[in-house]
A and B are shown apart, each in its own frame.
Chain A
Amino acid sequence: MSEPNDFENFLRRVATLVFWLLLLVPVIIFPIAFFGSLFIPKQILEFLFHSSEPNILFVLINKAQNPFLAITEVNDFLGLGPCVPAFSYIPPPNCSPTFFRIVVFPGFTFVALITLWLGWYERKLVAKIHMRYGPLYAGRISGVLQPIADLLKLLFKEIIVPAKADKPFFVAVPLLTMGISAALLAVIPLSERVFIIPPESASLGLLVLFAILGFYPIIILMGAWASSNKFSFIGGLRALHQLVSYEIPWFLSVLGVVVLTSSLDPFQVVRAQSNIWFIVPQFIGAFVFLTAAMAELERIPFDLPEADTEIVFGWLTEYTGMNWGILFGLAPFIKLYVFSGLFTLLFLGGWLGFASLPPEIWFLLKTFIVINVIMLVRVFNPRIRVDLLIRFGWVYLILLAVANLFLAVALKALGVF
């Protein structure tokens, strides 16, 4: 390890200073300010805070109900409004602020935590079928802290960029993958009350999914080509074939549901299932969706872009450390959650269920069951071969999806839905 130079020392000190400021200022300065403000004359208060409440503490508490409101107030005070649009505030009780929704719940942080423990769950489930233990030591009870251990380990590993690789693309690919997986999250609501895109503006939700998903093959090809490795190249081409071939039957199966409900809005789709879940009239579509989803997720039996006994590790060969952690451990599981959530919304009735449990819990429970089904297929099957894959996707799945579409149109024309 070389000695830290002066610039690193400077950065370290600045970071420490900011940290302590953020910690101490609310704890010490704000109480002093609040109580001191009781003794400040009224005109000055009005000038500063645009309000003539006698008890400035009350005003400030109202405007600082959560940290995000407080930051909003600070922005307002400093005149920075238009520069930070994510902090804008929509009045309760419909939803919490957008920033909160995107970042914390039901957005990125929530899903990231779920995916961390989905990784643990998959390892345990597969291990039980393999007659072994799975993660056992990290964390007292059956290795629950294993994902944290893996995360810390990956953060400390060196990120090797090959000498002949195309550096900007090589480094950008994990971030783009993560970005797309996270962007897909915006369309999946958890219930009528918990969502990221509100119902008023969600009229094209399902189309947005298809549009964003179309980026994925290009990014994979970028990553494979930028690695400048023969095996990565072969893996990237296989990934391109696979993902492009299976997007079509996937969207055709979604179209079946769209025809039945005449809208692309996820909220409308769930509301239309209050009589019967769509898995009953659209069982072919459900099967096609699940198979095409497994192919889009590059899970066994469709994991031939990463076939490690044929092409070392496919297009992910040259990615190490946290690059690999994002590409292989985080983004695929987020996509798994998205696809399972979509399946639940389209075919399993979304958040509808007995009123004894809140609808968010119903949604998460059904999504969990779908994730289990997808994980179990992995245990019993080997990998498929490229020509069999393409024949299956273009011939059989598209035929089934088109048949499903005819069924949906027939049901709609007969007035059943």
Chain B
Amino acid sequence: MLPVGQSLPFPIEVISGDRLSISIGPQHPGSGHFRIIVVLEGDIVAEAIPDAGYVHRGAEKLCEFRHFVQNIPLLERTTLPDANGIIFPYVLAVEELMGIQAPQRAQYLRIIAAELNRIVSHLYWLGIYGPFLGHTTMFMWPMGDRELFMDLIQTIGGTRVTPSYIIPGGVRNDVPDYFKDQALKAIKYFERRLKEYDKLFFSNPLVLKRTQGVGVLNRSDAVALGITGPNLRGSGLKSDTRKDETYSMYDTVDFDVPSYPDGDCWARNMVRFYELYWSMQIIKQAIEKMPSGPFRSRLPLLTARAPPGEVVARTEAARGCMSYYVVSDGSSKPYRVRVSVPSFRNIIGIPHLLKGGHLADVPAIYWSLDYWPVEADK
């Protein structure tokens, strides 16, 4: 509890003149586990203060007390919709520290797992974006179609949400025989559905009116503020870690990185929409190109030691560029794991973009940044 005489460090109940401060807080249908303190003047937002930390669990500190492999389930649970994407750079960093190289089949399987998670995460984003704008059909359709891809993740990983599939040395198990047919069927169905999504939502005149010109992030601001992921690509920069710094056989599959110069909510939405399409193409190509062979170089020991060193590794998760800085001091537990999550890098977009908009734009802009509070709070 607060000591007597000490007040909270930020204003919540200050109403002076025409200003009204409301807390789009943790218990709000439009916020997630996160609070934005919005100071309103009439209908225009004068100031927006993000207040993160509601679900802070101290993942970075906990990582120092567990072995390298034990950290994989711990770190996965910070980003549930995109579990494989979150753990991919950590495993790359640990492999570099320990000097292990994953076989080719494992690298293609890692691509498939990461892209499946990208589709799942984007569909979750879309399924919440609809109700944030008031569009209830856009809650049911993406969540329903997402089930197909959750089933695919279950086929390769074992569970739907946190399969802990990517481990140092390769992947945990091989895919069964029916995976290829199941995947191609799901992709064929969903490519057809993407056209219906376009007609219903992305070309809907009311949605266009509510997202075009709203929350504009121009190019120089995006670079200076450190914004990452589809938000950066929606401001005209064609920057994707999969192309800029290729890892794990991404240079053998052929895909395009969508980007739009507008910088408003509509541009960010369209980037994610096309990323869904390209992820499916990547999965199809990876299934074709996957060689047969071992899927794991060797089973890592639980108490495997890593020689002293430090590594910075990064990949492109669904929400943006995810990077890890792992320091090892020679024991079997990491000395320091610094998790740099895309949502935490994007949090600075919230006060910058919400200022000057309407109250009704707050959910539209906030969710178009695809901010996942659990991930940002680690």
Contacts and interface: CB of A to CB of B under 8 A. Distances in A.
Interface of A: 126, 129-132, 230-231, 234, 300-301, 303-304, 307-313, 378-388
A384 B208 CA distance: 11
B131 interface: yes
A234 B359 contact: yes
A303 B134 contact: yes
B130 interface: yes
A382 B207 contact: yes
A130 B360 contact: no
Contacts of A131: 140-141, 144
25 contacts: A130-B140, A131-B140, A230-B20, A230-B22, A234-B359, A300-B134, A300-B136, A301-B206, A304-B134, A304-B360, A307-B360, A309-B132, A310-B30, A312-B29, A379-B137, A380-B200, A381-B134, A381-B204, A382-B133, A382-B204, A382-B207, A382-B210, A383-B134, A385-B358, A388-B209
B43 A383 contact: no
A309 B29 contact: yes
A385 B137 contact: no
B284 interface: no
B30 A309 contact: yes
Interface in B194-243: 200, 204, 206-207, 209-210
Contacts of A379: 136-137
B361 interface: yes
B141 A130 contact: yes
B172 interface: no
Contacts of B29: 308-309, 312-313
A293 to B, nearest CB: 18
B183 interface: no
Interface in B352-378: 358-363
B1 to A, nearest CB: 23
A367 to B, nearest CB: 24
Contacts, number: 83
Interface residues of B, number: 30
Contacts of B361: 385
Contacts of A381: 134-135, 204, 206
A310 B136 contact: no
A62 B182 CA distance: 77
A130 B359 CA distance: 28
A380 B20 CA distance: 33
Contacts of B363: 309-310
A231 B209 contact: no
B28 interface: yes
A382 B134 contact: yes
Determine which residue in B20, B43, B138 has the highest number of CB atoms from chain A within 10 A of its CB, and name it: B43
A382 B135 contact: yes
A381 B209 CA distance: 12
Nearest to A303: B134
Given A308-B30, A380-B200, 13 more contacts: A130-B141, A132-B144, A231-B22, A300-B134, A301-B206, A309-B30, A310-B360, A381-B135, A382-B204, A382-B207, A382-B210, A383-B133, A383-B134
Contact of B137 (A129, A231, A309, A387): A129
B140 A132 contact: yes
Interface in B136-193: 136-138, 140-141, 144
Contacts of A231: 22
B210 A385 contact: yes
B261 to A, nearest CB: 24
A256 B133 CA distance: 35
A129 B130 CA distance: 15
A381 B203 CA distance: 11
B20 A307 contact: no
A385 B20 contact: no
Interface string B104-143: 0000000000000000000000000011111111101100
A310 B141 CA distance: 22
Contact of B130 (A301, A382, A388): A382
A35 B351 CA distance: 87
Determine which residue in A234, A304, A385 has the highest number of CB atoms from chain B within 10 A of its CB, and name it: A385
A383 B360 CA distance: 9
A385 B30 CA distance: 15
Contacts of B22: 230-231, 234
Sorted nearest first, the 6 A-B pairs with minimum C-beta distance are: A383-B134, A309-B30, A130-B140, A382-B135, A382-B133, A385-B360
Nearest to B22: A230
Determine which residue in B133, B204, B209, B360 has the highest number of CB atoms from chain A within 10 A of its CB, and name it: B360
A313 B134 CA distance: 12
A387 B43 CA distance: 9
Contact of A387 (B135, B140, B141, B358): B358
B43 A386 contact: yes
A126 to B, nearest CB: 7
Nearest to A306: B134
A126 B130 CA distance: 15
Contacts of A382: 130, 133-135, 138, 204, 206-207, 210
A303 B136 CA distance: 12
Contacts of B200: 380
Contact of A309 (B20, B43, B131): B131
B210 to A, nearest CB: 6
Interface in B319-373: 358-363
Contacts of A126: 136
A386 B135 CA distance: 16
